[in-house]
Structure 1
Amino acid sequence: MKKILLILITIFTIGSFAQKKQTILISSKYDFQEKKNSHNINNMLKAILTSNNYQVYFEDEILPIEIAQNRCNALTGVLVDDSNVFVTKVKLQIKDCKNNILFETADVKSREKESQAAFIEVIKLLSPELKKYKPVVIQKKEVTESPSEIITNTNVKYQFVEIANGYAVMDATPKVILQIYKTTNPNIFIADKFGVKGVFTKLVNRGVFEYYLNDKLVVEEFLF
Structure 2
Amino acid sequence: MRSLLSIFIMILVVGNLQAQLNDYKYIIVPKKFDDFREENQHMTSTLVKYLFTQKGFNTVYDDAMPDDLNRNRCLGLLVKLDDNSSMFTTKTALVLLDCNGQEVFVTQEGRSKKKDYKASYNEAITKAFASFGTLAYSYSGKGETEEPVTISFKDDVKELKGKDTVQKPKLNKYQDPMVQQEATPEKQSYKDMKPVESEYGKAEEKAKDLTEQVATPEEQRYTTKEPMPSDMVKAEDMEGSKEKGPLTGQGLLYAQEIPNGYQLVDSSPKVVLKIFNTSVTDVYTAQSDNRTGVVYKKEGKWFYEYYVGEDLTVQELNIKF
Number of the residue aligned with 2:54: 51
Structure 2 matches for 1:74-223, cutoff 5 A? 74-131=76-133, 137=140, 138-141=142-145
Higher Cα radius of gyration? 2
Q: CA deviation at 1:46?
A: 0.1
Residues 141, 21 of structure 1: alpha-carbon distance in 2 compared, 3 angstrom cutoff: closer
Distance in 2 (CA, whole Å) between partners of 1:33 and 1:125 is 20
Aligned equivalents of 1:128, 1:22: Cα separation in 2: 21
Percent sequence identity over aligned pairs = 24
Partner of 1:27: 30
Q: Tell me the equivalent position of 2:67.
A: 65
Q: Which runs of 5+ in 1 are unaligned?
A: 1-18, 144-224
Offset of 1:127 from its aligned partner? 3.0
Structure 2 counterpart SS, 1:80: strand
| Whole-Å separation in 2 of the counterparts to 1:134 and 1:84 | 34
Q: Give secondary structure in 2 for the equivalent of 1:76.
A: strand
CA gap of 1:67–1:107, structure 2 versus 1, over 3 A, is same
Deviations 1:69-93 (A, max 9, x none): 1101111111110000121000000
Distance 1:133 1:99 in 2: 23
Q: CA deviation at 1:131?
A: 3.0
Q: Which 5+ residue runs of structure 2 have no aligned equivalent? A: 1-21, 148-321
TM-score, reference length from structure 2? 0.36
User: C-alpha distance in 2, partners of 1:85/1:142?
Assistant: 46
Distance 1:25 1:142, change over 3 A: closer
Show CA shifts across 1:20-56 (max 9, x none).
9731111010121121001111001000011111111
CA RMSD of aligned residues (A): 2.7
Decide which structure has greater strand share.
Answer: 1
Q: Tell me the matched-pair count.
A: 124
3-state secondary structure, aligned to 1:139: helix
Query: If the length of structure 1 is used for normalisation, what is the TM-score?
Result: 0.50
Q: 1 or 2 for the larger relative contact order (CA 8 Å, sep ≥6)?
A: 1
